[in-house]
Amino acid sequence: NGHLAVATKLIAAGADVDKATMDVGSTPLFIAAQKGHLTVVAKLIAAGADVNKAWTTDGATPLFVAAQKGHLTVVTKLIAAGADFDKALTTNGSTPLFIAAQYGHTAIVSKLLQHGADKSIRGWQNETPLEAAQRMNHAAIVALLA
């Protein structure tokens, strides 16, 4: 829930920052990124959390879920920490760029493109990010990707 003080105490007590939940394999960084808790994301990264450790169910990374949820500041932090912006889901090949384009997160699409995200990687239904943006009628993103 974004409780930085709790995260700080757990890290100080030696908690494994990459320990995944037993149900679906979410790491603390994945959950913080999903919820948009930038301060907790920053704390976990500083404590050595693996920015590319994927959710075991489908291979979603913290960057993927932050891009999906529209958390630009978290996306920016994860990219700065070395997150692989072209790492795709194991289930359908979708990348952070693809999901941001599909969900209409223009600023995130722009940020990912600025850092060299590959716009040719095909995701869900074998679509490119451009095709996903076209399907969802996200004109500003179509202009960025065209």
**Digits of tens for pLDDT over the chain (146 positions)?**
778 999 999 999 999 999 988 888 899 999 999 999 999 999 999 999 999 998 878 999 999 999 999 999 999 999 999 999 999 999 999 999 999 999 999 999 999 999 999 999 999 999 999 999 999 999 999 999 99
Q: Dmax over Cα atoms in the chain, in whole Å?
A: 49
Spatial CB neighbours of 8, under 8 Å, sequence gap ≥ 6: 43
- Report phi then psi at 142, rounded to 5: -55, -45
Could you identify the residue written with the tokens 């760029």?
Answer: 97
| Reported pTM | 0.94
Token readout for 117 is 């995200």
Token readout for 74 is 């978290």
Token readout for 47 is 């404590």
Q: Is the dihedral of CA 77, 89, 113, 71 positive or negative?
A: negative
Residues 102, 57 contacting (CB under 8 angstroms)? no
How far are the Cα atoms of 30, 31, 32 from residue 121, in angstroms, in the given order? 23, 26, 27
